[in-house]
Amino acid sequence: MTTIHKVRKAVLPVAGLGTRFLPATKAVPKEMLTVVDKPVVQYVVEEAMAAGIEHFVFVTGRNKGVIEDHFDIQVELEATLRERGKTVELRSLEDMLPKAGATSFTRQQAPLGLGHAVWCARDIIGDEPFALLLPDMVMHDKVGCLAGMVELYEKVGGNIVAVAECDPALAHKYGIVGKGEALEGGFQITQMVEKPAKGTAPSNYYINGRYILQPEIFDILSRQERGAGNEIQVTDAMLKLADTQPFSAYPFAGQTYDCGSKEGFILANVAFALDREDIKPLVVQELQKLIAKA
């Protein structure tokens, strides 16, 4: 039986240009846009922490320095909060912070595609499986998406791709997987198709931005072959890896919000606001009024 190595490290590619969200993303990275009171990337780091991830590798680019600052101590701010007895606020800063030495930042230099961003993390990841989390995809559920994936991975090994169900009429907009034999907590993937032509999708399960990948993906990515949009695509590399290694799907039961799109970002704000007892009553009341007028 092949050994299933623990997933200890996660890659968070944050070097994209965020063109779908201009002008907001001209000076502020889209990963730092706020859902209620936390930047998008913090939700994703917390999801990874809850799944037992020990080391966070951020693949950054120009104008993304604020992400590094966000995951550091703010000495003056914290001293002031302490002096003023603002313990709740202070705790909120401490709880989100990965341990010292548990973050690495590497530069992509040019946004050549998601596959290229992942490849930039190769030396920091080394020869072990890793999680890949797209930081603009925010998951909303009681159990984190990555935690569920790790549970499946520890049973079946190989590579795991999280999926969510979409309206079949919209399947042509996504990366879609084919559904094979059922597994406990998932199913085997028979095929992966990036943006299938209308009416040809093998299912309505789309790849929603969370992966557990084996390190052999780096060799494939190092060939730097460009795909759709003239970018180096991670899906193309996964398709090649699937020739020699198993891929399983973890169907995520919660809601996936694409916070790189305006609609997804607004809906994420509403969903997370409704989870918060302190702001929910007013938000519900005002939303009802707005919807009645719309």
Task: List interacting residues with ligand UTP (CB under 6 A).
Answer: 13-21, 59, 108, 111-114, 116-117, 134-136, 260
Q: How far is the CB of 16 from ligand UTP (least distance, A)?
A: 2
Helices marked H in 162-279: 217-221, 234-241, 262-274
Q: Specify the residue, 91 or 262, whose C-beta has the smaller distance to ligand UTP.
A: 262
Q: How far is the CB of 14 from ligand UTP (least distance, A)?
A: 5
Q: How far is the CB of 290 from ligand UTP (least distance, A)?
A: 27
The Cα–Cα gap between 105 and 121 comes to 9
Q: Specify the residue, 203 or 208, whose C-beta has the smaller distance to ligand UTP.
A: 208
Structure tokens at 209: 């931005």
Q: How far is the CB of 137 from ligand UTP (least distance, A)?
A: 8
Q: Which residue is nearest to ligand UTP (CB)?
A: 16
Q: Specify the residue, 16 or 129, whose C-beta has the smaller distance to ligand UTP.
A: 16
Q: Specify the residue, 49 or 67, whose C-beta has the smaller distance to ligand UTP.
A: 67
According to DSSP, the residues that pair with 191 across neighbouring strands are none
Q: How far is the CB of 101 from ligand UTP (least distance, A)?
A: 23
Q: Which of 249, 131, 115 is nearest to 181 (CA)?
A: 249
Q: Specify the residue, 18 or 148, whose C-beta has the smaller distance to ligand UTP.
A: 18
Q: Which of 206, 103, 188 is nearest to 152 (CA)?
A: 188
CB atoms within 10 A of CB 169: 11
Amino acid at 225: E
Structure tokens at 134: 């797209």
